[in-house]
Structure 1
Amino acid sequence: MPSRSLGLALALAVLALTLLLHRLAHLLPCGQWVQAAFHPDTSSVAQLTLHFSLLPRVAVALLAGAGLALAGVLLQQVLHNPLAEPATLGISAGAGLAITLVSSIAPAIGASWGRPLIALIGALLAVALVFGLSVRQRFSPLAVLLAGLLVTLYCGAVSAGLQLLANPYDLSFYLWGSGSLVQQDWSLFQSLLMRLLPVAICTVCLIRPLTVMALTEEGAKGLGLALAPARMVALGIATCLAAFVVSAVGVIGFVGLTAPALARACGARRVGQQLLWAPILGGLILWLSDEVVLTAFGAGREFLPTGAATALIGAPLIFYLAPKLRGTVGGTRAIIMAQARHPGVILALWAAILVGSGYVALHLGHMPQGWVWSDSMLAFRWPHLLGAAAAGMLLAAAGVLLQRLTGNALASPDLLGLSEGAACGRIVATALFGAASSGLVWLGSAVGAMAVLGLVLALGGQGPKTQPDRFLLVGIAANALGGVLVTLALLAAGPAAGSLRAWMLGDTGLITGRAAISVTALLPLAGLALFLMRRWLVLLPLGGPSSGSLGLGVSGARGLLLLAAGLMTATATLLVGPLGFVGLMSGHLARISGFHRPLPQLLAASLVGGLIMLLADWAGHTLAAPFMLPAGLLATLIGGPYLLWLLMARGRRARV
């Protein structure tokens, strides 16, 4: 009912206006508000702040939120997917990566082409990639969402790496990438309005086609609608809306998800009603979120990105809607290869390659005079090389455990949010107890990882074996939520933000010898624990009833194995940060090598994970010398394309 939508809009507006007036009361007397809004006194800093900063910020928030909400309505209607929006489909992340890439590598091109065009190109490429990954599965809702969220994760990691390499201590571009509404005049509002208004007007012509799209394909054709062109036009308009908003204020997620959902909850069932009320609610949601951030953090914190805070609303909404989403990605089983004929020989070969690579990495380096082989690098290289390899082995083992226990070939510590949860726990524990309390910091990291794992298990379905794709979707949403919390902690870190960002990207340069030895000493203990639980790893993939009939306590066994995965993830994250894709790649490379039984696969994956991280660490410290590339960033650059290829392979098997 329109009255319910109007009531909600008024409630949001009153709350936001109350917070704004509260801040204005501390800025200047209320008698000067009208003068400052229209004709500010140039000698009054407070009046100039209100006219050129506060009011344009409110206007941009309303406009950007409306644009994202309108894009969300279009995407959800075209894809028949209540979770579709620019952030979950990778559109915003693609636009943000394009701007970051051009600004870092070729700023002259960015100046000549302009941010809106660059953002639009990046957004279109992201859309093409997402739909290319899901076309073989007939654009199943879960297939599109998983592809979009994976593209978002990869683009976000690459953007963060580029920002770190450009200037690790400059947070201005990082703040923009997280969704900043900071304004200095009215120029940005005017330019954004001139771009969004014509595109928004075009959506009025799509009311009838969007309404017909709700019918079956035969029914739509019977009414004379060419579905393919209509969908392409609607997707193009939604992409333009998202790209223009990203070019102006950065990546702001989940507004396009929340506003249409609230509009439908208030009774806006028709497409025309949603196109009217969703932008209104979207603008008010973003404005209210901005006012909450500014009020909570106080004066002097106007630079904080509001885009990060909106995920605190959107991620729980995904938790609520994911179990109701129909469809499957299909083909969740791993790629099956022939069993290795001589597994012992292959394991020995992997071990020899790992040891040999470590020896070479300790001695081979690139100096100003060229490549050299020297023992002088041994003393300062061995801690971070050993620590990186040990962390890679732990993450690889955790990835294999999660893949076998969830029945999902794409499960890994990073995609299920365990790594981000461990990072949040580490940051909180460090703030409470100090970095010197290493035991409490590790405990905090473990608690964070297990809390996220418990959340994913509770919301992913009745059991990880019954809803593998929804399980993964909820995990990725938890990962996004953890990333927001880490971002807020990062911005509150002050002078330590540079080193914390480097740790978040997997920088191994600060690993001490003591820490590396301590983590390496845990490897035999982890191996012994997994050896004792080897029977569980064989029986649990058979399913709960079959495992129980063989005398296995399913709940206890699964709980202990998941606990082991969480503890290994927490330990590795504490050392090298929340790495991406290492836990995923290692298990699949071990399986492709012919290892399918639990213990051989765990051992092979651990050796591969250690090798990946060792080589990534050596390359990061050597190839770009005297600059240093974080090992986690290099692993992500390699693992991201592999993950997307794996998703395409799943699509081909599903079609067969």
Structure 2
Amino acid sequence: MYSDTATLPAQRPVLPARLPVAAALLWLTALLASALPWLQQLDPMALLSAFWTFNPDTYASVLAHFSWAPRVAMAVLVGSALGLAGSVTQQILGNPLASPTTLGVAAGSQFGVTVASLFFPGLLAFSPDLPAIAGGLLAIAMVIALTWRLGFSPVTVILAGLVITFFLGATNMAFLLLKGEWLGNLFIWGAGSLVQNNWQPFADLWPRVVILVALMLLLMRPLQLLQLGETSASSLGAKVAWVRALALFLVVLLTATVVSRVGVIAFVGLAAPVLARLLGARTLGGRILWSTLLGGGLLLLADTLAHWASTWGDGSLIPTGTTTALIGGPIILLALQGFRNTHHMPGQTSSPAGFLPKRRPILLVSAVLTGLLLITVVVSMGWSPGLDGWRWTGLSQWHEAWIWRGPRMLAAVLAGIALGLAGTLIQRMTGNPMGSPEMLGISGGAALVMVVIVLSGLEAGRMGQLVAATAGAAGALGLLILLARRHRFAGNQLLLGGLALYVFMDAGLRLVMASGGTEASKLLNWMYGSTWLVSEGEAISLLVFILMISGALASVVRPLTILPLGEQSASSLGLPVARVRLLLLLLAALLTAAATVVIGPLSFVGLIAPHLARVLGQQTVGRQLIAAALVGGVLLGVADYLSRIIVYPNQLPAGLLAALVGGIYFLWGLSRHGRA
């Protein structure tokens, strides 16, 4: 990690003029934008006095005092707290992309509040902070446990935090789908809202924030020693492990306290420290100071934009978390331009792999997987619960059961096949075994287009959705590869760029979810892979489409075998590398889009299926493609069946169930690599 080789400067760095100028401009813009609508009703002094008093005879003054002023104060307080938390987190881990959001703390806090809302409502009445803190501690403990043995490798920490965010988010959505009547208000809270009706929330929050900030500042000197590296800091008497643990505990307390009050305000804790560093803050004290100031200004500006968007729109609330998430993507991409990481990716070691599965005949493996797939189909069609309990549907009645069970089962299997093929293409093309449609943002690009279609109210139809999702998937991966060209398509930058694209998808999703209504419910079900609305015609069309695409894969076996040799070697063997990468990109995007339209963007099947194909002894490209396709079909076929029966008479989306299992598999894979 970069802090291991950093040295303290011989003299105090000169503060660049652009840093205070940029901070002043940010604050001036945010304050003017926030005050502008009110200046038409109140003079500047009356508006300023709204922070401590009001004129009971003037409605605008009353409204400003109880609505605008506490909202501004809350935005500044929360933004400053998250900026400080992000700066301290980056110092602890020596990771310029670490933040409470990317480490899963915010998602963990939301998970804690969701669980408490369902099972321990009295605990929320006693203190909303406790379940949020417990969830945040759970998330950070999982990240630490997974990455401790790897020395907090920057990319590995971000990957672990991202997957934990996916996993806990999927669990939250499962609760939301099953208990939506009790958790409906969590839509807006989860998206992050700073709307205020009085000063009480601010009065409750600011003493807690001030105490936690003061405790963090007491750790300033030990945190400065971490810049010397772990060995040097220990030789000077610093208890590095204790300092890190205590500082991380305070970060979790501060983040969870904020999240419990205003919801998930995404990426301010990342954006503020990165901006401070890019603008020239070099010392720890400087980074903490300017991150705090920039965090307050950024969140005030984002909240003002959210308020303006709500006013200009149809009156529906635009959550502040949406506008702050839109800041996060560009910030990550800016940080990537200068990011260097000497650590290997999980699964990419400089030495030969310690585990090489025994090769097995592809005919035997294919026969076993095909048998499992047939068993899945038979059980799914025949053995199901009904009004009179569990019963077996005879073969003679399958034509009747097909209407209800067949299309969704066929669509799920086909989506699994498509994702298995797409995941293999991506992992082979990037040379990164942790690559998948989800982690590289391809699914996110397809999903973002679907969100836009829903927001615009267009009736695109299934074919129109497929075309639009394909364009979104291809555009996402194309943008990602374009951004990663300067790093020669290194897996690290591809994965982190995928995180940036996920941020935009998440922002759009939160926007629709906060709006509520039938469109939000439809999109929520689709995002997590609801198959129960798939018609027979759509399933057959998907079958024809995937058969056509699969036929084209025979032409890419040789290029995929040659590409891992390196660009120069591949070119010397007569391979047009640029055109081949473009072809692979389009094929992966088409397969991902086809699956995303049916199963949603987050299932992890594209990650798991190629891995299991290798575990089954299929190392060559062609054999891995065949095995991964069959594994993907079995996985999503089983997921669809279980999602239909596991909470009967309710149903879970098949993609959600697959995402839960896939997240566990991914976390297990990271921990296994750490032990190796």
Which residue of 602, 609, 614 corresponds with 2:625? 602
Task: Give matches, 1:324-363, under 5 Å.
Answer: 324-333=339-348, 336-363=355-382
Distance 1:615 1:494 in 2: 31
* Normalised TM-score (structure 1): 0.93
- How far has the Cα of 1:569 moved from its partner? 0.5
Q: Residue type matched to 1:443 in 2?
A: V
Aligned equivalent of 1:575: 598
* Normalised TM-score (structure 2): 0.90
Distance 1:110 1:431 in 2: 34
Q: Residue type matched to 1:232 in 2?
A: A
Distance 2:654 2:107 in 1: 22
Aligned equivalent of 1:190: 203
* 1:63-122 superposed Cα distances (whole Å, 9 cap, x missing partner): 11111111111111122211111011111111111111221333234334x221111111
Q: Residues 124 and 436 (structure 1 numbering): CA distance in 2 closer, same or farther, change over 3 Å? A: closer
Q: Residues 528 and 168 (structure 1 numbering): CA distance in 2 closer, same or farther, change over 3 Å? A: farther
Q: Which shifted more, 22-31 or 406-415?
A: 22-31
Q: Which shifted more, 148-157 or 165-174?
A: 165-174
Aligned equivalent of 1:129: 142
Contact 2:454 2:519 in 1 (8 A): no
> Are 1:540 and 2:574 counterparts?
no
% identical equivalent positions: 38
Aligned equivalent of 2:178: 165
Contact 1:340 1:593 in 2 (8 A): yes
> Are 1:241 and 2:262 counterparts?
no
Aligned equivalent of 2:156: 143
Residue-pair matches, total? 651
Q: Residues 517 and 285 (structure 1 numbering): CA distance in 2 closer, same or farther, change over 3 Å? A: same
Distance 1:111 1:491 in 2: 23
Distance 2:121 2:669 in 1: 34
Q: Residue type matched to 1:360 in 2?
A: V
Q: Residues 608 and 343 (structure 1 numbering): CA distance in 2 closer, same or farther, change over 3 Å? A: same
Any gaps of 5 or more consecutive residues in structure 1? none
Task: Give matches, 1:119-518, under 5 Å.
Answer: 119-167=132-180, 171-298=184-311, 301=315, 303-323=317-337, 324-333=339-348, 336-374=355-393, 375=397, 376-429=400-453, 434-462=458-486, 467-491=490-514, 495-518=518-541
Q: Which shifted more, 132-141 or 485-494?
A: 485-494
What is the alpha-carbon root mean square deviation over aligned residues? Answer: 2.5
Aligned equivalent of 2:33: 19
Aligned equivalent of 2:10: none
Contact 2:116 2:123 in 1 (8 A): yes
* 1:381-437 superposed Cα distances (whole Å, 9 cap, x missing partner): 111111111111111110011011111111110111111101122333566683244
Q: Which shifted more, 367-376 or 245-254?
A: 367-376
Contact 1:134 1:143 in 2 (8 A): yes
> Are 1:90 and 2:104 counterparts?
yes
> Are 1:614 and 2:637 counterparts?
yes
- How far has the Cα of 1:378 moved from its partner? 2.8
Distance 1:627 1:109 in 2: 28
Contact 2:123 2:131 in 1 (8 A): no
Distance 2:41 2:635 in 1: 54
Task: Give matches, 1:633-648, under 5 Å.
Answer: 633-648=656-671
Distance 2:403 2:378 in 1: 13
* 1:352-373 superposed Cα distances (whole Å, 9 cap, x missing partner): 2112211221122212432122
Contact 2:306 2:320 in 1 (8 A): yes
Q: Residues 26 and 294 (structure 1 numbering): CA distance in 2 closer, same or farther, change over 3 Å? A: farther
Any gaps of 5 or more consecutive residues in structure 2? 1-14
Q: Residue type matched to 1:332 in 2?
A: G
Distance 1:189 1:302 in 2: 24
Contact 1:435 1:441 in 2 (8 A): no
Contact 1:426 1:442 in 2 (8 A): no
Deviation beyond 6 Å, 4+ runs, structure 1: 26-32, 41-45
Which secondary structure state, in structure 2, belongs to the residue aligned with residue 366 of structure 1?
strand
Distance 1:327 1:145 in 2: 15
Distance 1:573 1:385 in 2: 15
Which secondary structure state, in structure 2, belongs to the residue aligned with residue 214 of structure 1?
helix
Contact 1:133 1:147 in 2 (8 A): yes
Q: Residues 328 and 308 (structure 1 numbering): CA distance in 2 closer, same or farther, change over 3 Å? A: farther
Q: Residues 594 and 317 (structure 1 numbering): CA distance in 2 closer, same or farther, change over 3 Å? A: same
Q: Residues 221 and 407 (structure 1 numbering): CA distance in 2 closer, same or farther, change over 3 Å? A: same
Q: Residues 595 and 26 (structure 1 numbering): CA distance in 2 closer, same or farther, change over 3 Å? A: farther
Contact 1:461 1:470 in 2 (8 A): no
Q: Which shifted more, 86-95 or 18-27?
A: 18-27
- How far has the Cα of 1:573 moved from its partner? 1.0
Which secondary structure state, in structure 1, belongs to the residue aligned with residue 534 of structure 2?
coil
Contact 2:328 2:503 in 1 (8 A): no
* 1:518-538 superposed Cα distances (whole Å, 9 cap, x missing partner): 001122212211112221222
Q: Which shifted more, 360-369 or 417-426?
A: 360-369
- How far has the Cα of 1:169 moved from its partner? 10
